[in-house]
Every structure is written in structure tokens, then in C-alpha cells.
Amino acid sequence: MKRILKIRKSPTDSDGDFYFKIKTILGFKPRNLEYYKKAFIHSSLNLKDEEGKAINYERLEFLGDSVLGTIISNYLFEKAPEGDEGYLTKMRSKIVSREHLNELGKELNLISFFQSKTQFSNFGENIHGNLFEAFIGAIFIDRGFSYCHRFIERRIIEPYVDIDRLEGKIISYKSLLIEWCQKKKKHFKFNSYEDTGNEETKHFAVKLYIENKLVAKSRATSKKKAEEIASKRAYFALQNHIDRS
């Protein structure tokens, strides 16, 4: 009898544990756990519902991205009445930058719920931000806009959004460096090449030249990331010249 009860009880225990963890992250009670479970399912599992529709986090990620952008836009609209469209767009980009969303996903340890057939080492840093957006999408469907707003205000706006500080925050070192080179009429070049070595995960190496002089180099799991890292290193190497211009 004990063995039968144990078998029957396990699924409930599993859901109960998941419910408690999600409730702790949310700060309020979830209604339908299925939305939150779906927010952590990768397409590699090839799951389908009864109607044959794919079950994965991608659609929730799309929705979460839109909801997050709307709530942050509304916040900036109210808190920065003097800001024009360009200013508001730039500030929103700083708040919902991929780097910041990745940090938020890591902070909440959303990856601990992630289900995939693909090895985690094959995913880049952006998986953390993707899951965070999917999680917001799940909140929106489960509890509606007001609860979603409450979560974003508590997890993003209150601890991280300081308009004065954000005004000086650099979103992309690569864009900043390119803009400076163009302004000063300096020739620049990113020399990128695949550099896997003995590792299973593909890597890219980048060398950044300005006026045919090697200024910085880097290595990362994507060409885009490697160029951004090299640009950041170049910025700090040339910071006195760039900030003065």
C-alpha cells in the first residue's frame, strides 16, 4: 500500500515543488502551472499538444518581449516627460538590453527549469534572457497585465532603473567605437575568423584594427559577441581620446 501511495503521490509532489519555486520568484500565486512549464521547454523536445501545435517557449518569448517593452515604455513616458521619441527609445534599449535580460534570467536561476535535448553547452548566454522573456509571457497569460506589471516593477524597475545613471550607460561598445571612428575619419576593421581549437563548442576570434594598428582582440562563442568584447577593450584603451571628442 505504501508503495502504491508513493507512486501516486510523486507527480503531485513534483508539481507542488514547482509551484512553490514559481510562487517564490513571482511574489504571488500562479494559477495555471502549465503556462510556466511551457516557458522552459525547448523546441528540441518536439512536443505537441492534442491539436498538433508545438509546445515550446518561443511564442511566450515573443509575447513577453512585447509586454516588457510596453511596461518599460509606459514607465519612461511618465518618468521622463521632457524626453523625445529618440531619447525614450534609447533609454528603453538600455533597460531591456540583451545583456541585462541575461543577467536577470541568471539571477532568477530560470535555467534550472529548462528542458532540452540539446546540451546546455551549445546554448549561448542569450538563453537566460530568452527564458526571462518567456517567463513574462507566461505571467501575462496566467495573471494578466496588472500582475505582470507588478512583477516587472519589483524585479526590474525598482532595483535597476535609475534614469540619471542609465543616461550614461553604454549599450554597445561596438556602435560607440564605430561612431567615434567615423566622426574622426579613422579607418577601422574587424578581422574575424573561426577559432574552435580542440573544443567542441565553436568559437570566433576577432582582431580590431584602427588605422591599421591592432588595438584589441578577443575570443567568444559568437562573432557578434567577440566583436563587442574587442570593442569594449578598445574603448577602455582609447577612453581618454573618445571621451574628449
Dump the DSSP string for 147-193.
HHHHHHIIIIIHHH--HHHHTT--S-HHHHHHHHHHHTT--EEEEEE
Mean pLDDT throughout 51-71? 95
- Tell which wins on pLDDT, 235 or 71: 71
The predicted model scores a pTM of: 0.69
Identity of residue 41: I
With cell 509586454, the residue in question is 67
Q: What would the pLDDT profile of 19-58 be if each residue is shown by its tens digit?
A: 999 999 999 999 999 999 999 999 999 999 888 999 999 9
Residue 141 — pLDDT band, cuts 50, 70, 90? very high
Q: Quickly count: other Cβ atoms within 10 Å of residue 223's Cβ.
A: 17
Lowest mean pLDDT among 63-67, 151-155, 182-186, 236-240: 236-240
With cell 501575462, the residue in question is 140
Of the candidates 38, 10, 32, the one whose C-alpha atom is nearest the C-alpha of residue 19 is 32
Angle between the N-to-C axes of helices 58-79 and 85-95, in degrees from 0 to 180, rounded to the nearest 10: 130
User: Which residues, 6+ apart, have CB-to-CB distance to 39 below 8 Å?
Assistant: 57, 60, 113, 131, 134, 135, 137, 138
Residue 121 — pLDDT band, cuts 50, 70, 90? confident
DSSP result, 36-50? HHHTTB-GGG--B-T
The stretches of 80-157 forming alpha helices (DSSP H) are 85-95, 98-107, 126-143, 145-152
Residue 173 has pLDDT above 50, yes or no: yes
CA geometry: angle 4, 6, 7, nearest 5 deg: 65
Residue 69 has pLDDT above 50, yes or no: yes
- Tell which wins on pLDDT, 16 or 56: 56
| Positions marked active-site | 65, 133
Domains and CATH numbers, the chain: 11-166 (1.10.1520.10), 173-244 (3.30.160.20)
Mean pLDDT throughout 110-134? 90
